[in-house]
């Protein structure tokens, strides 16, 4: 016997059960099966997914979830009210009292997020380009030093390579 009468929500009784189970936190597949649909699990997954995309079903699930969310979440004003009660009753240590005041200030919006302004004008970009050129120059000098040091150890052109490596080291120290 299939349920065919629609309730005031415009949903069939099984659809209403499905919505209630989903709103309670059950997965779509499990809700579909628990609502009384006798199908394979894969079919239940597809049907539940398809059903949740229907506007009337989605609206009913949201409608059923709303009271729970409202009860579960305290409003900002209610949180501030509770904090003030705790502060006035002085039930805790001074450090906790200060933390409660800090939380109240945050809830009141007294701690606006800091905004950092970065200027990326021509001057900034030129500075970045200059720095990149200096780094490239230093890397080139280091590469030349390594190759000169490798040649020194082979004994070719002894004193002249030694002096060029020393000059390169001085040049790097001045640039950095």
**d(Cα 21, Cα 43) in Å, to the nearest integer?**
18
What's residue 3's pLDDT?
46
For residue 7 the two structure tokens come to: 């309730």
158: Cβ contacts below 8 Å, ≥ 6 apart:
152
- Do the Cβ atoms of 58 and 43 come closer than 8 Å? no
pLDDT < 50 positions in the chain: 1-5, 158-162
What's residue 66's pLDDT?
77
For residue 156 the two structure tokens come to: 């070719």
What's residue 21's pLDDT?
92
Nearest to 24 by CA among 57, 59, 61: 61
**d(Cα 141, Cα 144) in Å, to the nearest integer?**
5
Please report, for the chain, how many H helices and E strands are present, in that order.
8, 0
What's residue 17's pLDDT?
92
What's residue 74's pLDDT?
63
45: Cβ contacts below 8 Å, ≥ 6 apart:
28, 29, 32
Task: Indicate the pTM of the whole model.
Answer: 0.39
What's residue 94's pLDDT?
73
What's residue 131's pLDDT?
85
Write the burial class of residue 13 (CB in 10 Å: 0-12 exposed, 13-18 middle, 19+ buried).
middle
């Amino acid at each position: 016997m299939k349920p065919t009468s629609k309730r005031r929500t415009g949903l069939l009784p099984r659809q209403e059960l499905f919505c209630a189970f989903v709103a309670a936190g059950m997965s779509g597949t499990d809700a579909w099966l628990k609502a009384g649909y006798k199908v394979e699990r894969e079919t239940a997954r597809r049907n539940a997914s398809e059903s949740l995309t229907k506007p009337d079903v989605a609206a009913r699930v949201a409608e059923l979830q709303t009271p729970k969310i409202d009860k579960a979440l305290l409003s900002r004003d209610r949180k501030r009210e509770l904090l003030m009660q705790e502060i006035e009753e002085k039930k805790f240590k001074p450090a906790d009292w200060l933390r409660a005041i800090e939380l109240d200030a945050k809830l009141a919006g007294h701690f606006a997020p800091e905004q950092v302004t970065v200027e990326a004008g021509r001057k900034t970009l030129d500075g970045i380009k200059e720095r990149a050129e200096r780094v490239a120059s230093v890397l080139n000098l280091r590469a030349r030093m390594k190759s000169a040091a490798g040649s020194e150890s082979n004994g070719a052109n002894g004193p002249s390579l030694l002096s060029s490596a020393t000059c390169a080291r001085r040049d790097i120290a001045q640039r950095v």
